[in-house]
Amino acid sequence: MDPLSSCSIQPADRENLPLRESSKSLENGYVYINAGKSTLREHAMEQEARPCSSTVSIATAEQWERELLEDPKNRLALSALSAHDPKAILTQRSTVIADTQNFNTKIAFEGAPITNQKSSGRCWLFAATNVFRVAVMRTYNLKEFELSQAYLFFWDKLEKANYFLENILDTRDEDLDARLIQTLLADPVSDGGQWDMIANLVEKYGLVPQSLYPDSFNAMNSGVLVSLITTKLRENALELRHLASQSPDPRASLGSVKEKMMQDIHRILVLLLGPPPNPKEKVTWEYYDKEEKFHELRISPLDFAAELHSNDSIKANGGTDIHRLFSLVNDPRNLYGRLLRVDRLGNVTGMRKTTYVNVDMTTMKNACIAMLRHDLPIFFGCDVGKFSAKSSGIMDPDLIDYELGFNVRLGLSKAQRLEAKESAMTHAMVLTAVHVIDDKPVRWRVQNSWGDAAGSKGWFVMSDRWMDEFVYQAVVDPQFVSQEIRDVLKQEPKM
């Protein structure tokens, strides 16, 4: 299965060009345009058949330009669109008014403060720790709190380096220019990740408060770190492949070589991020609770994470053990009710693999609503660059009217967008509320990790139709889905 993504791309890194889909109805995962000639196929059927030109004609382009600018509306559009951000010009005021931060179903305790991943692709780590911290804050009676995203970031980078080198050894017999090898070499240690990868990190390394391992400059600005480690790992990959080709049993003979490679990566990480706490050694956490009462706790990162398994923590979270959460995904390219897995997407060798239960959007949304009604936040993954505005925090297919501005009709379905690489899961955030009318969701409240200057003091709002089109994943508690969905986890996954 092609990966939906690793949630590592930010709007500053890749500004997706959204395509408007208006007057549409959804049926079996496909989009239909109701008015006018909705597809090039229909248009072509009405045109005179003639050979396709293989070149661009200057004369034809001049004719198109004359025809375009004969219309005064197009001249007005030229003046406006060429001098300003098209998104700002084409933003629909009615949509901005409709998408309010008012919700009739909202968790009582959303967690604070609003976090900021800065210039890094750590959205998945921020979204996950924003979910985890709600349980911690309830357990320790805290007003504000952050878990250390940098702590997980450090160990994730080290584990991904090892995972990459293991993949290189596993695929040593493949040609260097094979698609698989080139895919591995393309992005050995990206900032992005998936829920199962978070679960692996927490199980192996635990959690620590941010005050005990705060962000360094290179955690907040990860470009140099990623570039340096990527360059070194590509060099290591070529060396490993060469040495493996000369050895009858590479794993038995190249242990010291690989260990030296890993030591180099560890050195880079320590010098750029700082030495992290030992997962098994106790650290001292000092904090004030909501009543300004001072507390001191001596505990290891592993034991701190294990507290989320405790009876008190589970009780505080309405009977939910956050370590049991799993991913629902909506990928209409594949059959619903199937377990999907992305081959060689992971971080910790020998632990959980990246898997999803593929469901329709109604099933996913019903599970999310049930969790919110039980006072639980939800980690979710989406294509954040589509029909969204960072300044207002609005995500809605009706927000930006590209059809009005450019007189083009585009109607790819969700499945087609995935197939054509027009959409992918680029960002992870947290759901904390939903507005429901007549048992149907209308809009959703979203906690982002872009700081409090984005959106409404850091909060975004997502229309339900945007959720249908651009949300791909929600991480849920098994108790909020049917037995039929839980049984999918027992299937042999489709790769």
pLDDT at 49: 78
Which pair of structure tokens corresponds to residue 375?
């006072």
Q: What is the pLDDT of residue 240?
A: 96
Higher-confidence position of 279 and 324: 279
Share of the chain above pLDDT 90, in %: 82
Least confident span in 18-32, 259-273, 295-309, 456-470: 18-32
State how far the Cα of 371 lies from the Cα of 379, in Å rounded to an integer: 11
Note the pLDDT tens digit of each residue in 159-170: 999 999 999 999
Cα 201 from chain centroid (whole Å): 17
Residue 16: pLDDT band (50, 70, 90) is very low
Neighbours of 36 (CB within 10 A): 10
Side-chain half-sphere CA neighbours of 246 within 13 A: 6
- Rounded to the nearest 10 degrees, how much is the dihedral formed by the CA atoms of 291, 295, 300, 306? -40
Place 495 in a pLDDT band, splitting at 50, 70 and 90.
confident
pLDDT digits (tens, 9 = 90+) for 226-250: 999 999 999 999 999 999 999 989 8
Mean pLDDT of 109-119: 96
Give yes or no for residue 99 having a pLDDT over 80. Answer: yes
Q: Which residue has the tokens 């989406």?
A: 382
Q: Determine whether 448 is an active site residue.
A: yes
The answer to whether residue 483 scores a pLDDT higher than 60 is: yes
Q: What is the pLDDT of residues 136-159, one digit of tens each?
A: 999 999 999 999 999 999 999 999
Other Cβ atoms less than 10 A from the Cβ of 480: the count is 20
Q: Please tell me the predicted confidence (pLDDT) of residue 121.
A: 96
Q: Which two tokens stand for residue 54?
A: 């293989």
Neighbours of 411 (CB within 10 A): 18
Confidence of residue 31 (pLDDT cuts 50, 70, 90): very low
Residue type, 456: S
| Mean pLDDT confidence for 436-447 | 97
Residue 222 pLDDT greater than 60, yes or no: yes
**Sign of CA pseudo-dihedral 10, 12, 14, 16:** positive
Q: Tens digits of per-residue pLDDT, 291-332?
A: 999 999 999 999 999 988 776 666 666 556 767 899 999 999
Q: Would you say 114 and 455 are in contact if contact means Cβ atoms under 8 Å apart?
A: no
State the residue for tokens 């998936």. 194
311, two tokens: 């009876």
Three-state SS for 294-353 is EEEEEECHHHHHHHHHCHHHHHHCCCCCHHHCEEEECCCCCCCCEEEECCCCCCCCCCCC
Across the chain, mean pLDDT equals: 89
The pLDDT tens digits of the residues spanning 79-89 come to 999 999 999 99
Q: At what angle do helices 123-140 and 195-205 cross, to 10 degrees?
A: 50
Q: Number of H helices and number of E strands within the chain?
A: 20, 15
Q: Identify whether the C-beta of residue 146 lies closer than 8 Å to the C-beta of residue 207.
A: no
Instruction: Name the active-site residue from 7, 123, 368, 382.
Output: 123
Instruction: Give the pLDDT confidence score for residue 274 in this predicted structure.
Output: 98
With a cut of 70, say whether residue 36 has pLDDT above it.
no
Percent of the chain whose pLDDT exceeds 70: 88
**Residue 309 among the catalytic residues:** no
* Residue recorded with tokens 């889909």: 21
What does the alpha-carbon distance between residue 152 and residue 199 come to, in Å, rounded to a whole number? 11
Return the pLDDT at 307.
86
Q: Classify residue 341 by burial, with Cβ atoms within 10 Å: 0-12, 13-18, 19+.
A: middle
pLDDT at 53 over 90: no
Residue 47 has pLDDT above 60, yes or no: yes
Residues 188 and 346 sit within 8 Å (Cβ to Cβ): no
Q: How confident is the model at residue 10 (pLDDT cuts 50, 70, 90)?
A: very low
DSSP letters, 112-150, are SS--B--BSS-HHHHHHHHHHHHHHHHHHT-SS--B-HH
Q: Is residue 397 helix, strand or coil?
A: coil
Taking Cα atoms as reference points, which of 455, 348, 490, 371 lies closest to residue 100?
Answer: 455
Q: List Cα–Cα distances, 397 to 145, 296, 402, 433, 447, in angstroms.
A: 34, 49, 10, 20, 19
